[in-house]
Structures are given as C-alpha cells and as structure tokens.
Amino acid sequence: METLRRKRNDKVKLKEQIVETAMEAFTKLGIRCVRMDDIALSLSISKRTLYELFRDKENLLLEGLRMQQQQVNEAMIEVTTRTENVLEVLEFNL
C-alpha cells in the first residue's frame, strides 16, 4: 500500500515538474518552437514517459494553463482572506 502511494506521489511530482518546465519553455521560446522531444530531453526522461502522462503538446499546454489558473485562484483567496480592504484586492489583480 505504501509503495503504491509513493509511486502515485512520484508520478504527480513528475507531472508537475514536466508542466513547469514546459510552461517556462513555452513562455521563453513560444509554443510552436517547443517540441515534446525538447521537454523530454531537458528533464532527462524518455518520450514514452512524457507521452504516458500527456497525450500531446496541446494536452500539456492545457494542463499548464489549468495549473496557472489554480495558482492565481489560490493567491486571490489568500489576498481576500488576509485583508478587509478591497483596494488591496484590486491592486493584486493589476
């Protein structure tokens, strides 16, 4: 049971690392210029591993956008619970 949980956690961490690396590359080089091969190579993983976790580059990009949106939502919740001043919330959005 513990081994299964550890494997699942490792898979989640790897997936997050792939998304983070891909999003940095997409931002720096542009989505069209980044190949799945480039991402796999930069993380020293096989393309097979990459494609087991993400169907294609579009799927990887969508997951990256979802994760970024989640981070923004969490930050907004933190700001809104930490302050009573609506101006601080508005400043956060700028």
DSSP string, 34-50: --HHHHHHHHT--HHHH
Query: How many angstroms separate the Cα of 51 from the Cα of each of 1, 16, 23, 45, 93?
Result: 26, 14, 16, 11, 35
Cβ(53)–Cβ(11) under 8 Å? Answer: yes
Q: Are 88 and 79 in contact (CB under 8 A)?
A: yes
pLDDT tens digits, residue range 40-68?
Answer: 999 999 999 999 999 999 999 999 999 99
Confidence of residue 93 (pLDDT cuts 50, 70, 90): low
Look at the pTM and tell me if it is higher than 0.85: no
Q: Which fold has domain 2-93?
A: Tetracycline Repressor; domain 2 (1.10.357)
